[in-house]
Amino acid sequence: MKRRNLLGGLSAAALAGACAPKSEAPGAQASNQTFRWKMVTTWPPNFPGLGVGAANLAKLIEQMSAGRLQISVYAGGELVPPFETFDAVSRGTAEMGHGAAYYWKGKAEATQFFTAVPFGFNAQEIYAWMYYGGGLKLYQELYANFNLVPFAAGSTGVQMGGWFNKRIDTVQDLKGLKMRIPGLGGEILQRAGGTPVTLPGSEIFTALQTGSIDAAEWVGPYNDIAFGLHQAAKYYYYPGWHETGPALECLVNAQAWASLPADLQAIVSTACQAVSTDMLAEFAARNATSLQQILNSDVEVLPFPDTVLRRLKAITGEVLTELVARDPASAKIWASQSEFMRVSDQWQQISEAAVLRARHL
């Protein structure tokens, strides 16, 4: 990370005010006390973008605090299994975690809204909603039930639709498809006739190569090449309808958070936003160059047919309607997101989308 360039444009005071949760007992006064924390993650060791982003967060916090808050990072499986990150931080086995909120839908279905909703926010919009649309407050309210303080802490930008070992030409081609896909996207695939499979990233290549799954979504060209997925599947589809601008998260144990002096709390919240900016920039750059490598291989890069996307979008509406009807927390969060999206979409259409159209006239 080029931290001096990145942080030079950030106001720590302003970001701390926007990002820091309101605790019942304010942090203690600044002191020379040193805190040594553990961070568990859902990512493979030293994995580009995602795993490295978590490590960068820990390094940045230590640098900004002049060593007063030191964080040892454990990849998925080194201290706890990847999908036990949430529980480990909740119960205090580790003070901090890094992952994706939709992994915890078994704990609370509403967590999924803080990663991605299919056909939903792009990366700019989810952060706009978080910091200026009330999203962060809703995030903190939900996670307080689990003894956690959450922060947005990274973004891949729009993802790819996934790797497939057969063509998807019609909706019928989704029937019987075994695909690694988490969150709401997995439920939508199931209703379209497929079988969603939950796997940590480190197991995707083998599952694809051996045929135990027919398809898998992971992230995008940068991370997918790192796993060698271009060597395990023939077709690479876009767009990533299921994750249009997913946010990653940093989890902090509530008691550990309350133990920090106010200045260290401000450093943690500011570092999370700084890492989000840096990670999004890295993915934009690395995905572009990695795509060139894929285009020069034997892989076919293909768009999902409009008929398939329309069907998946229709199912998305059904799934969300049922979810908000049965879960009050999801209803509250979706009401906030959908209204923000309604207004934002008008601006996106005449700004980002219009510029991209004009670029290719």
CATH number at residue 85: 3.40.190.170
- DSSP character string of 39-73: EEESSPTT-TTHHHHHHHHHHHHHHHTTTSEEEEE
Whether 319 and 352 share a structural domain: no
- The SS3 call for residue 150 is strand
Question: Both 288 and 341 in a single domain?
Answer: yes
Q: Are residues 128 and 170 in the same domain?
A: no
- Which whole number is the average pLDDT over 104-116? 96
Q: Which domain holds residue 214?
A: 162-239+301-324
**Looking at the predicted structure, is the pLDDT value of residue 17 above 60?**
no
Instruction: Tell me, yes or no, whether 263 and 339 share the same domain.
Output: yes
* Tokens matching residue 59: 């390094």
The answer to whether residue 351 is domain-embedded is yes
Cβ proximity of 232 and 209 under 8 Å:
yes
Q: Which tokens hold the place of 340?
A: 């923000």
- Please state, in angstroms and rounded to a whole number, the distance separating the CA atoms of residues 147 and 251: 10
Distance CA 193, CA 181 (A): 14
What is the structure's pLDDT at 347? 96
Joined together, the tokens standing for residue 34 give 């040193």
Average pLDDT over residues 207-216: 97
Per residue in 215-255, pLDDT (tens digit) is: 999 999 999 999 999 999 999 999 999 999 999 999 999 99
pLDDT of residue 23: 44
pLDDT of residue 32: 86
Does one domain contain both 289 and 332? yes
Query: What is the enclosing helix (H) or strand (E) of 184?
Result: helix 183-191
At 261 the pLDDT is 97
What burial class does residue 25 get, using C-beta atoms within 10 Å of its C-beta: 0-12 exposed, 13-18 middle, 19+ buried? exposed
Q: How many residues are given for the chain?
A: 361
What is the C-alpha separation between 2 and 42, in angstroms, rounded? 25
C-alpha closest to that of 250 among 127, 106, 86: 86
Instruction: Say if residues 71 and 61 touch (Cβ distance below 8 Å).
Output: yes
**Total domain count for the chain?**
2
**Token code pair at residue 42:** 């859902």
Instruction: Choose between 253 and 6: higher pLDDT.
Output: 253
Q: Is 128 exposed, middle or buried (0-12, 13-18, 19+ CB in 10 A)?
A: middle
Tokens of 37: 């924390």
Q: Are residues 316 and 336 in the same domain?
A: no
- With bands split at pLDDT 50, 70 and 90, how would you rate the model's confidence at 359? very high
Q: Do the domain assignments include residue 136?
A: yes
User: pLDDT averaged over the chain?
Assistant: 92
Same domain, 172 and 197: yes
pLDDT at 15: 45
Together in a domain, 62 and 99: yes
| 147 and 254 fall within a common domain | yes
Q: What is the mean pLDDT of residues 314-323?
A: 98
Residues 287, 281: Cα–Cα separation, whole Å: 10
pLDDT at 50 over 60: yes
The reply to whether 119 falls in a domain is yes
Pairwise pLDDT comparison (124 vs 20), residue with the higher score:
124
Residue 333: its H or E element: helix 328-350
Quick one: pLDDT band at residue 19, thresholds 50, 70, 90? Answer: low
Confidence band, pLDDT 50/70/90 cuts, at residue 20: low
**148-180 burial, b for 16+ CB within 10 Å, e for fewer?**
bbbbbbbbbbbbbbbbbbeebeebebbeebbbb
Task: Grade residue 2 by pLDDT with cuts at 50, 70 and 90.
Answer: very low
CATH number for the domain harbouring residue 174: 3.40.190.10
**Does residue 291 have a pLDDT over 80?**
yes
Considering the domain architecture, whether residues 225 and 198 belong to the same structural domain is answered as yes
The dihedral of CA 206, 244, 196, 327: what is its sign? Answer: positive
Q: Are residues 45 and 59 in the same domain?
A: yes
Q: Is 22 inside any structural domain?
A: no
In a domain, 307, yes or no: yes
Indicate the pLDDT class of residue 25, thresholds 50, 70 and 90: very low
Asked if residue 3 is part of any domain, the answer here is no
> How far, in Å, are 38, 208, 228, 240, 241 from residue 287 at the CA level?
30, 21, 14, 13, 17
Asked if residue 27 is part of any domain, the answer here is no
What is the average per-residue pLDDT within 256-260?
A: 98
153-195 pLDDT tens trace: 999 999 999 999 999 999 999 999 999 999 999 999 999 999 9
Residue 286: predicted pLDDT: 97
20 burial via Cβ count (<10 Å: 0-12, 13-18, 19+) = buried
Q: What is the pLDDT of residues 113-139, one digit of tens each?
A: 999 999 999 999 999 999 999 999 999
Does pLDDT of 7 surpass 50? Answer: no
Q: What number is the average pLDDT over the span 309-334?
A: 98
CA gap 309, 305 in Å, rounded: 7
**Predicted confidence band of residue 31 (pLDDT cuts 50, 70, 90):** low
Q: What is the pLDDT of residue 46?
A: 86
Residue 196 in 3-state DSSP? strand
The structure tokens listed for 178 are 């075994």
Does residue 306 sit in helix, strand or coil? helix
Residue 73, in any domain of the structure: yes
Residues 142 and 286 occupy one common structural domain: yes
